[in-house]
Amino acid sequence: MAVLFVAFGTTGDILPLFHIARRVRTRHRIVFVSHAAHAATCDWAAAGIEFLGTPTRPDERSTAIGSEYEAAVQASARCGFVVFNLFALGAWHIAEARGVAAVAASPCLIPYTPPAAFEEAFRSELPRLHAALVAAKGDGAVRWAEVEHWMWPLWTERWGSWRCERLGLPAAPMAAC
């Protein structure tokens, strides 16, 4: 099984995932997607890791989801597991589209908090999903605590049309159209 790593951000944001990927490489083939500017950051070939660069820059947040994630979408067809950092949340959507497991690996504190009105808006728009997340137990299922802690940006408007048009998913994660 191949494992897809997707990490965006500065060198300090991608290096921890590179080191995890090197360890995982002893048992699985690795495809690592990051900014093309990071091609020279690590010796990808010597580590046995296939590196795919995106045209986005590490020093600015991209508004072009399509170009930022296209390499990951393509590579995901040959991968059975996805690892991503918190600056590459689109990888979670890709894993959902492929029906494979995913894990966020964050080498830093969560760099954001949900807006004050997030939960009320979520509950209003997705009442059944909200109730299910609140009721979920700690058995590996996604719980409301994870949504509040780090997952909430997955439900922002930034992702909706890309999820539908490129990935064939509902606009909102974990919900039907």
- pLDDT in single tens digits along all 177 residues of the chain: 899 999 999 999 999 999 999 999 999 999 999 999 999 999 999 999 999 999 988 877 777 888 899 999 999 999 999 999 999 999 999 999 999 999 999 877 777 889 999 999 999 999 999 999 999 987 778 999 999 999 999 999 899 999 999 999 999 998 753
For 113, residues 6+ apart whose C-beta sits below 8 A from its C-beta are: none
Residue 177: what pLDDT? 39
Largest Cα–Cα separation, the chain:
51
**Are 64 and 161 spatial neighbours (Cβ–Cβ below 8 Å)?**
no
Residue 176: what pLDDT? 58
Backbone torsions φ then ψ of 53, nearest 5 degrees: -95, 145
CB atoms within 10 A of CB 87: 21
Residue 78: what pLDDT? 95
123 burial (CB, 10 Å; 0-12 / 13-18 / 19+) is middle
Rg from Cα positions in the chain? 16
